[in-house]
């Protein structure tokens, strides 16, 4: 064998080895326990991709993200998975506020568990972000949610508990205020912020009591990062105070919320996995991939909560709703 042929053979072998190397995916999660993360992993593996995962959990603390960004820069993964709005914003920055010294600008990022990427300032359009970012939205639009609430009961006064320290939550509240005003519905709002302007878990019972004092027909609980680990407390308080709740995410229903229009987190993660597969295997640019929601959401009624509150679903809802018996 000539030296030229030997060199050609070695080059082919090297190329084959390189193509067989696993994709390196760096997962940054807000907190553990979200089924979206498993749905993301499972989709990539079911698609036949060999993947090496690195996982970092910030445990809800945005102050940990700068160190994570530095580690990502050092490792140079093929793709980054971001679990929440807070995580995604910390990794890539808001449109118009991107700082290459603090944010990732040259590695594809796929997010999940972001309720409103436009209001959060992550993208300006859903058809394609124009930046190193795409992902899966896990919440139905506010007009659709409000219509679902009204299908269950007439609304004169709607309560909402939210966290105004989160920019996305302030945008949500402004939109909800407009929608309820147009529908002739009075909107009453509460929040768990202390004097320092930060949410305080110790204030949650008093927050719910203040809401009950306003006697709303229904309480809307949006997807608030701060609320998620306290879902059981919030739902227990709602039942104790006789407050019917409409939930935007699955974990709230699992904790005892009365009803909601939700998408299974596992499926949301799968949709994010589909987009990651397009980036990794098909070499698609995340800037050109649409940011999407699942095509179908599930209207769910938690019957134990409905029984406890003495509120039963109308017959037309029972024809299509998913009934939770426990």
**Separate counts of helices (H) and strands (E) for the chain:** 12, 13
Q: What is the pLDDT of residues 96-136, one digit of tens each?
A: 999 999 999 999 999 998 988 998 899 999 998 999 999 99
| Alpha-helical runs (H) found in the chain | 3-20, 35-46, 65-75, 85-92, 142-152, 167-182, 204-213, 231-240, 250-254, 265-280, 303-309, 315-318
Whether 206 contacts 273, CB under 8 Å: no
Question: Which of the pair, 188 or 325, is modelled with greater confidence?
Answer: 188
pLDDT band at 19 (very low <50, low <70, confident <90, very high): very low
pLDDT at position 7 over 70: no
| C-beta atoms surrounding 21 within 10 Å | 10
| C-beta atoms surrounding 9 within 10 Å | 11
Residue 4: both structure tokens together: 């030229």
- Which distant-in-sequence residues (6+ apart) come within 8 Å of 90 by Cβ? 62, 65, 66, 68, 69
Predicted pLDDT of residue 320? 86
Place of tokens 């989160």: 166
Predicted pLDDT of residue 146? 96
Whether 78 contacts 26, CB under 8 Å: no
Residues 185-190, mean pLDDT to the nearest whole number: 97
Pairwise CA distance, residues 320 & 298, whole Å? 9
Predicted pLDDT of residue 274? 97
pLDDT at position 259 over 90: yes
Averaged pLDDT score across all residues of the chain: 90
pLDDT at position 305 over 50: yes
Q: What is the pLDDT of residues 214-257, one digit of tens each?
A: 999 999 999 888 888 899 999 999 999 999 999 998 889 999 99
Q: Are strands 186-190 and 157-161 parallel, antiparallel or unpaired?
A: parallel
pLDDT band at 20 (very low <50, low <70, confident <90, very high): low
């Amino acid at each position: 064998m000539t030296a030229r042929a030997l060199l050609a053979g070695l080059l082919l072998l090297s190329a084959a080895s390189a193509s067989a190397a696993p994709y390196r995916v760096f997962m940054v999660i807000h907190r553990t326990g979200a089924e979206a993360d498993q749905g993301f992993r499972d989709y990539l593996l079911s698609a036949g991709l060999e993947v090496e995962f690195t996982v970092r959990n910030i445990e809800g603390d945005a102050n940990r993200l700068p160190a994570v960004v530095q580690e990502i820069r050092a490792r140079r993964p093929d793709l980054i998975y971001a679990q929440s709005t807070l995580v995604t914003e910390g990794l890539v920055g808001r449109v118009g506020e991107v700082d290459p010294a603090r944010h990732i600008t040259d590695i594809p990022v796929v997010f999940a568990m972001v309720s409103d990427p436009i209001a959060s300032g992550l993208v300006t359009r859903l058809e394609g972000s124009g930046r190193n970012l795409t992902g899966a939205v896990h919440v139905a639009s506010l007009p659709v949610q409000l219509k679902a609430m009204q299908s269950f009961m007439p609304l004169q006064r709607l309560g909402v508990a939210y966290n105004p320290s989160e920019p996305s939550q302030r945008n949500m509240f402004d939109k909800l205020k407009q929608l309820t005003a147009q529908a002739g519905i009075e909107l009453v709002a509460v929040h768990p912020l202390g004097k320092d302007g930060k949410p305080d878990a110790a204030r949650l019972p008093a927050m719910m009591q203040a809401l009950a004092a306003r006697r709303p027909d229904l309480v809307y609980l949006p997807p608030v990062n701060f609320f998620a680990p306290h879902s059981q407390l919030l739902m227990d308080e709602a039942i104790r105070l006789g407050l019917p709740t409409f939930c935007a995410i699955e974990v709230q229903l699992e904790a005892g919320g009365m009803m909601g229009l939700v998408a299974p987190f596992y499926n949301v993660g799968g949709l994010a996995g589909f987009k990651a597969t397009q980036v990794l295997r098909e070499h698609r640019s995340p800037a050109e991939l649409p940011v999407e929601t699942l095509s179908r959401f599930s209207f769910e009624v938690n019957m134990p909560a409905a029984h406890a509150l003495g509120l039963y679903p109308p017959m037309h809802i029972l024809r299509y709703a998913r009934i939770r018996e426990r």
